[in-house]
Amino acid sequence: MSYLISGESGDWEVVIGLEIHAQIVSQAKLFSGAATAFGAGPNTQVSLVDAAMPGMLPVINEYCVEQAVKTGLGLKAKINLHSVFERKNYFYADLPQGYQISQYAEPIVGEGTVVLDMPDGETRDIGIERLHMEQDAGKSLHDQDPKRTFIDLNRSGVALMEIVSKPDLRSPEEAGIYLRKIRSILRYLGTCDGNMEQGSMRADVNVSVRPAGSDALRTRTEIKNVNSVRFVMQAIEHEAERQVEAYEAGGEVVQETRLFDAAKNETRPMRAKEYAHDYRYFPDPDLLPLVLADEDVERIRKSLPELPDDKKARFVSDYGLSAYDAGVLVAERETADYFETAAKGRDAKQAANWVTGNLFGALNKAGKAIAESPVPPGALGGLLDLMADDTISGRMAKDVFDEMFETGKDPAAIVADKGLEQITDTGEIEAVVARIIAENPDQADDVRSGNDKAIGWFVGQVMKATQGKANPKMVNDLLREKLGG
Amino acid sequence: MTALTELSLAEAGKGLEAGDFTAEELTRACIEALEGGRDLNAFITETPDIALDRAKASDARRAGGKAAGPMDGIPIAIKDLFCTEGVLTTAGSHILDGFTPTYESTVSANLKDSGAVMLGKTNLDEFAMGSANVTSYYGPVKNPWKGPGGKDLVPGGSSGGSAAAVAGGLCSGAIGTDTGGSIRQPASFTGIVGMKPTYGRCSRWGIVAFASSLDQAGPLTRSVEDAAIMLGAMAGHDAKDSTSAPIDVPDFSAGLKEGVKGMKVGIAKEYNLDGMPGEIEALWQQGMDWLKDQGAECIDVSLAHTKYALPAYYIVAPAEASSNLARYDGVRYGLRVEGESLDDMYEATRGEGFGDEVRRRILIGTYVLSAGYYDAYYRQAQKVRTLIAKDFTEAFEQVDVLLTPTAPSAAFAIGDKMDDPVAMYLNDVFTVPASMAGLPAISVPAGLDGDGLPLGLHLIAKPFDEVTLFRAASALEEAAGFDARPPSPKGGAS
């Protein structure tokens, strides 16, 4: 199921690498004590350091370092005990220092691996090249005034992690799955909230193409600042096709930085001025090399939560779920937790079906996240219990669930209020069955003479007479007993 | 009674303690001296109101029996590279026009907390880049000492205003910063004591940065004892500066008078430069003899990479400066010269805001960090720096301190060497190696040249061994008995 672009000269393979910029979850910025909350008024979260006032000095935020190490461990990557912050020098109005403090030659995290679950049930290992920490720039607001640009420094100095993959991705779909997987891992770790629409995660996408079967890497282009999974996939598709067309037309691909225009569905080069920098990296003399002790790393390792891959394996082995269902449930930590609470001490497969079926369906329709579900996991578990002890039928349960979702009421209360308890009293059902048979002698004869299908008509009549509350299995058994069907 | 402004810092402290005079009286005397000495152009901003307020507060503390220590009530001058809350801070540059910080540098805050009284902000080479105090946007500073025929001389730089203020009797102590010799060389040129502590001893927080890996604050005073007292009030670990050393501040005055008997003094032949004036060499020999006479042992050592220190310094310091000065872009504070586009504004602002020497160093620094040149220049210079530090480490296995001249000449006339940057840079040839290695060093006035101008001797010690440095310096001071003073700024001899 490889993704190939067919051209006149043959098939082309796409080679993709992603640089993901992820905002570290932290109350304070990377080198200053200023706050980082999203949506605050312009320039209200700016310290003297963030505004690069004369004589101000950066001091590393230890919590951000811990978060970066945690992320490195979650990516099964090498943690570098010695890393160095450097200055990346360039002028821009929203870069107050005139340089960005970043890691360059010696990042805090080295090589790692991420496992992708492909839709066909296979897995793919994608290499991580490195993870480094850096500070974000501020924001230039060009739309506030016809002639002037305004600067908001709230983001200036916010801590970012840049996670660089190896060029191991081979299709837009893989890139999408990879990005979702990274987001899932970061969310499990609590090191990045992964909100792409708020800008706390964005990606630079490196794309090149080569004739299928070739091992050589060709010139790549970099598509900057793509801010959704869908756009990443679209950008790759368009850029790869553009490159194939260029080669097929006898042209070349130049190494350059491009932008993805989602409205026009195309990538186009950034102006040379926007990226043609010589960044003059050199170690930041205001900061000492960052040195970690083995014990620090081990302490953080011990604090790691169960990550999606391990959780999935456990769901398959402990709950007997299919790999597919387990994969769906572990994608978000909240979903996995919800499922485990609902399934505790119950039929796990049934719980999984209800979570991925009815619950997801209702949430989707209502446009709600699982954390906002009107049905808490304990209540869904209660509904499963009502089915397990035959208080209600599966058919009835669906109606009760809809009511729960709408009103947030407890299932037992809904059943009691509406008198929905299933009739499981043999005598009561027997009486109804006997009455219906007596009232319909012709149909009864029909069944007795071997028309097995007609028994369904009797089941319907009994259910109707009991307002659907009779236990369907008991009704069926009794009818067969009486009619000898 | 000696004029109050002629007292050493230690003497003034004793006088205050004895109640011979008040901090207000002392401060008024200094303010008067400042006004009389304006021809020196030592101050960019005088702060007489702040000074009197703080002096009165000091007197009140003392009256209440709560004097903070030996600096309480002592008027001092602050190099205009230290950010001072509510007081114009210029770094000697046009580009910081109108910049009034909302914060106080750690060192000046420490001094304030010790009760010191700020008289004003002293002139300096623009962004501390210079060795003659001729690059300031606020004009050159004059050395209180006059050359033959009454010629105006440079006070050295970059802490030239601080040196001139102390040498000219405007105050007994001032703070400066030293990146490659900016405290020690002006001290030598003006006949006072100038001390650069170990890198990391004083916080750099709130000091306008020139070269972050080299910049250190230090005192300029008229005696070694005064320097020790003042440093005690300046130093200390600061969590706001990651390069500040988390170690305790000792009593720098302890053992000041214990002498140098048995002390091992290193003499490095590499400091014997070709073409060094005979009187500098003679003074150096004199210094050795003074120390030997007091029981020290002089030992020849080798600092093999000394000759590479100055060229390496002029790569590392401009490289860091080119990046440190990028923040002066006209966007947030200081000078802005409008332009058609953002780039136009940058060019207009920085072109007008920075003087020639600053622009020269930004260009050098940008060049040595550029793709394709980094390995040949910046990386190579860092390797040299490592070798220089290693030379010192090895020398200090044999000796306690090193003795060298402070500068290769006495003060020169204002205007000299202006067309020859390399000749200007050579002023720092003896002071730069210790800067590159982050070592504490001090210049002590030791004699006069043929024109009657002061010359200093320079001592270097192990990291954080300022106590030994002060002890050796005190012995040198004692033996030299340097008591020459420049003519009074108003005319006649003091």
Q: Is A141 on the interface with B (CB under 8 A)?
A: no
Reduce the DSSP state of residue B229 to 3 states and report it. Answer: helix
Q: What is the DSSP string of A305-369?
A: PPPHHHHHHHHHHHH---HHHHHHHHSSHHHHHHHHHHHTTS-HHHHHHHIIIIIHHHHHHHT--
Q: Closest Cα of chain B to A138: distance in Å?
A: 13
CA Rg value for chain B: 21
Q: Do B242 and A60 touch (CB under 8 A)?
A: yes
User: Is B253 known to be catalytic?
Assistant: no
Which is catalytic among the residues B182, B203, B244, B253?
Answer: B182
Interfacial B residues in 256-315 facing A (CB < 8 Å): none
Give the single-character DSSP code of B141. P
User: What pLDDT does residue B493 have?
Assistant: 39
pLDDT in tens, B246-296: 999 999 998 999 999 999 999 999 999 888 889 999 999 999 999 999 999
Query: Is B204 close to A93, i.e. CB distance below 8 A?
Result: no
Q: What is the β-pairing status of strands A201-211 and A10-23?
A: antiparallel
In order of their start, the domains of chain A are: 4-300 (no CATH), 306-418 (no CATH), 426-483 (1.10.10.410)
At B104 the pLDDT is 98
What is the C-alpha separation between A443 and A455, in angstroms, rounded? 9
Contacts of A57 in chain B (CB under 8 A): 204-205, 240-242
- The C-alpha of A265 sits at a distance from chain B's nearest C-alpha, in angstroms, of 30
Per-residue pLDDT, B311: 96
Angle, in degrees to the nearest 10, between helices A294-302 and A62-74 = 70
**CA distances (Å), B103 to each of A165, A178, B123, B218, B387, in order?**
43, 47, 20, 20, 38
Q: State which residue of chain B sits closest to A33, comparing Cα positions.
A: B240
Chain A interface mutation, best of B81, B126, B242, highest count of A Cβ atoms under 10 Å = B242
The answer to whether A147 faces chain B, any CB pair under 8 Å, is no
Catalytic residue from among B158, B244, B435, B443? B158
Q: Within 10 A of B425 (CB to CB), how many other CB atoms are there?
A: 18
Q: Which residue of A has its CA nearest to B326?
A: A98
Helix (H, G, I), strand (E, B) or coil at A85: strand
Closest CA to A283 of A89, A65, A135, A131: A89
Q: Is B79 a catalytic residue?
A: yes
Q: What pLDDT is recorded for position B354?
A: 98
> How much is the mean pLDDT over chain A?
92
Task: Report CA Rg, chain A.
Answer: 30
- Report the alpha-carbon distance of residue B10 to residue B193 in Å, rounded: 14
Contacts of B493 (CB under 8 A, 6+ apart): B485, B487
Beta bridge partners of A383: none
**Mean pLDDT in residue range B445-471:** 97
Q: Which segments of B84-149 does DSSP mark as H helices, in order?
A: 106-113
Evaluate if residue B489 carries a pLDDT over 70: no
CA distance B217 to B204: 7
Whether the CB-CB separation of B427 and B443 falls below 8 Å is answered with no
What is B1-494's CATH number, 3.40.640.10, 3.90.1300.10, 3.40.50.620, 3.40.50.300? 3.90.1300.10
**Residue range B31-56: average pLDDT?**
98
Counting every residue written for chain B, the total comes to 494
Rounded CA-CA distance A255/A208 in Å is 10
Distance CA A335, CA A102 (A): 35
**Contact status of A88 with chain B (Cβ, < 8 Å):** no
Beta bridge partners of residue A291, listed in sequence order: A82
Instruction: For residue A151, give the 3-state DSSP assignment.
Output: strand
Residue B1 pLDDT more than 70?
A: no
Indicate whether B68 pLDDT > 50: yes
- Find the mean pLDDT for residues A338-364: 95
pLDDT at position B491 over 60: no
Residue A464 has pLDDT above 50, yes or no: yes
pLDDT digits (tens, 9 = 90+) for A421-454: 777 788 888 888 888 888 988 888 888 888 878 8
Model pLDDT for residues B136-187, shown as the tens digit of each residue: 999 999 999 999 999 999 999 999 999 999 999 999 999 999 999 999 999 9
Please judge whether A89 and B369 are an interchain contact, meaning their C-beta atoms are less than 8 angstroms apart.
yes
Question: Which pLDDT tens digit goes with each residue over B2-11?
Answer: 689 999 999 9
**Res. A455: pLDDT tops 80:** yes
pLDDT tops 50 at residue B492? no
Given a contact cutoff of 8 angstroms between Cβ atoms, the answer to whether B74 and B173 are in contact is yes
What does the alpha-carbon distance between residue B99 and residue A54 come to, in Å, rounded to a whole number?
Answer: 9
Cα torsion A227, A233, A238, A239 to 10°: value is 70
Residue B314 CA to residue B328 CA, distance in Å, equals 21
Tell me which H or E stretch contains A12.
strand A10-23
CA distances for B207 relative to B103, B200, B211, B213, B466, angstroms? 11, 13, 11, 13, 22
Q: Which residues contact B467 (CB under 8 A, 6 or more apart)?
A: B250, B251, B252, B254, B255
- List of residues 6+ apart from B67 with CB closer than 8 A: B16, B17, B58, B61, B73, B115
| pLDDT level of residue A475 (50, 70, 90 thresholds) | confident
Evaluate if residue A318 carries a pLDDT over 50.
yes
CA neighbor of A58 nearest in space, from A284, A394, A338:
A284
Give the pLDDT confidence of B206-262 residue by residue, as tens digits. 999 999 999 999 999 999 999 999 999 999 999 999 999 999 999 999 899 999 999
- Residue B195: predicted pLDDT: 98
| Averaged pLDDT for residues A183-190 | 96
pLDDT more than 70, % of chain B: 98
Q: Are A131 and A68 in contact (CB under 8 A)?
A: yes
Confidence of residue B494 (pLDDT cuts 50, 70, 90): very low
Nearest partner of A84 among A113, A100, A106, judged by Cα: A106
- Look at residue A248 and tell me whether its pLDDT is greater than 90: yes
Distance from C-alpha of B9 to C-alpha of B115, rounded to nearest angstrom: 13
pLDDT over 80 (residue B476): yes
Confidence (pLDDT) at A415: 87
What local confidence, expressed as pLDDT, does residue B43 receive?
98
Helix intervals (H) in A41-168 = 62-74
Mean pLDDT for B351-360 is 97
Do B186 and B454 form a contact (C-beta atoms < 8 A)?
A: no
> Do B164 and B176 meet the contact criterion of CB atoms below 8 Å apart?
no
Residue A1 pLDDT > 60, yes or no? no
In order, the DSSP letters of B248-315 are ----TTTTTTS--TT-EEEEEGGG--TT--HHHHHHHHHHHHHHHHTT-EEEEE--TTHHHHHHHHHH
What does the alpha-carbon distance between residue B9 and residue A418 come to, in Å, rounded to a whole number?
A: 94
pLDDT at A479 over 90: no
- What is the rounded CA–CA span in Å between residue A202 and residue A196? 6
B89-127 burial code (b ≥16 CB/10 A, e <16):
bbbbbbbbeebebebbbbbbbbbbebbbbbbbbbbbbbb
Q: What sign for the dihedral angle of Cα B170, B176, B178, B179?
A: negative
Cα of A115 to nearest chain B Cα, Å = 37
Residue A294 has pLDDT above 60, yes or no: yes
Percent of chain A whose pLDDT exceeds 90: 74
Is residue B130 within 8 Å of B211, Cβ to Cβ? no
Res A418: pLDDT: 81
Band of pLDDT at residue A273, cut at 50, 70 and 90: low
Is residue A26 a contact partner of residue A63, using CB atoms and an 8 Å limit? yes
**What is the pLDDT averaged over residues B189-197?**
98
Q: What is the pLDDT of residue A272?
A: 61
pLDDT in the model for residue A107? 98
**A57 closest CB neighbour out of B213, B240, B378:** B240
Instruction: Give me the pLDDT at residue A463, please.
Output: 86
List beta partners, residue B219.
Answer: B175
Residues 379-418 of B with CB under 8 A from A: none
Terminal C-alpha separation, chain A:
51
Structure tokens at B385: 């720096």
**Cβ–Cβ gap A54/B209 under 8 Å:** yes
pLDDT tens per residue, range A107-120: 999 999 999 999 88
d(CA A426, CA B189): 114
Identify the helix (H) or strand (E) that includes residue B489: none
Task: State the DSSP code for B97.
Answer: T
Q: Which residues of A touch B242 (CB under 8 A)?
A: 57-60, 286-288
Confidence of residue A192 (pLDDT cuts 50, 70, 90): very high
Q: What are phi and psi of A135, to 5 degrees?
A: -100, 150
CB contact under 8 A, B371 and A93: no
Query: Which two tokens mark B291?
Result: 């120390």
- In this prediction, residues B15-39 reach a mean pLDDT of 97
Backbone dihedral angles phi then psi of residue B152, each to the nearest 5 degrees: -75, 130
What's residue B49's pLDDT? Answer: 98
> If DSSP codes are grouped into helix, strand and coil, which group holds residue A184?
helix
| Cβ-defined contact of A60 to B206 (cutoff 8 Å) | no
Can you tell me which residue has the tokens 């001893």? B201
